[in-house]
Amino acid sequence: MRRLSRKKTLNLVKELDAFPKVPVSYVETSASGGTVSLIAFTTMALLTIMEFSVYRDTWMKYEYEVDKDFSSKLRININITVAMKCQYVGADVLDLAETMVAAADGLVYEPVIFDLSPQQREWQRMLQTIQSRLQEEHSLQDVIFKSAFKSASTALPPREDNSLQPPDACRIHGHLYVNKVAGNFHITVGKAIPHPRGHAHLAALVSHDSYNFSHRIDHLSFGELVPGIINPLDGTEKIANDHNQMFQYFITVVPTKLNTYKISADTHQFSVTERERAINHAAGSHGVSGIFMKYDLSSLMVTVTEEHMPFWQFLVRLCGIIGGIFSTTGMLHGIGKFLVDIICCRFRLGAYKPVTSVQDGHTNNHLPLTKNSIHSTS
């Protein structure tokens, strides 16, 4: 009884077989089938290699939400060189809440030479080339995000020559913490002093002939400092054509959370619009000479996450490639063989049609002789 039940169960399982086997003696091979099989296997191999490269690659996913954090402080990272001596210039921040952040809180004034050495000039030229490519191809930003903490430092290298030229410029570098509201970071003539109605700069003691706001922005960023990230103003250099020149940068800061396989950081991206003009009160161009960076914060926060294709999805796509190519090449081979039979062989139907002739009003049917007809006549 047990053997009988096992046999019935085995027969039932055999009936459910969705992959019936054809005996080898019934299989007919052909040169066309072998050619199609070779093409199919080659195509499968190429697509499998391409799919594996896609599986190994990662991409950046961007998500947007409202920024609900308004109580924390915003960090501004600064590295700017101005073509004036340090005792003639002052830098500070004034926000919409009339809160002034003095430069003494986190900025350092360092006397330097404004002209770059050959190695530094080459570094700046390379950085400007990257900036121009980023403006043309925005997808390069994803590459920079993924290579953060892995690429070379974007800081200006030190001078390799021992120049005896006296310092003629001031490098202002460091960081400041400000409120997360719109504000104005500026570098102008004279040191900043507090004032009941705001703030002021001691510019009366500086001669107008010494005004020169030619400057170079080696680095400017907001939020956590992430090595390897290139910001829009890095490598910017402006040469003043007039003593009374105003340079304005209108910046929109977007809070950004960066989550990659290399780093997780709370930083900020920003876009910038530049404007410069000469101050001439007689011609109606009013203002104050200096460098003004007016920033405003976006209400949206961007979360940038590096994602990778899961292994199960890779297997599903691989099975789809193999099955799809087998099915497609089988159908194409069948259609091609059918067309060849129609065009070349014409099914040989016309050779066996009965021949009918009419003689003297009588119909005469001539049929081809067969063995059966010969036996019947005999």
Place of tokens 């002739």: 357
- 191 exposed, middle or buried (CB, 10 Å; 0-12, 13-18, 19+)? buried
pLDDT at 376: 43
Q: How many CB atoms lie within 10 A of CB 176?
A: 21
pTM above 0.85, yes or no: no
Place of tokens 């960076």: 293
pLDDT at 251: 94
Task: Please compute, for residue 213, the number of CA atoms within 13 A of its CA located in the half-sphere on the CB side.
Answer: 25
pLDDT at 250: 95
pLDDT at 145: 64
pLDDT at 98: 65
Q: Which residues of the chain have pLDDT under 70?
A: 1-4, 16-22, 24-28, 98-105, 137-154, 194-198, 204, 345-378
pLDDT at 378: 41
Q: How many CB atoms lie within 10 A of CB 340?
A: 11
pLDDT at 103: 57
Cα distance between residue 52 and residue 88, in whole Å: 61
pLDDT at 371: 46
pLDDT at 155: 72
The pLDDT tens digits of the residues spanning 175-230 come to 988 888 898 999 988 877 766 666 777 776 777 778 899 999 999 999 888 877 88
Alpha carbon distances (Å) from 87 to 84, 186, 188: 8, 16, 11
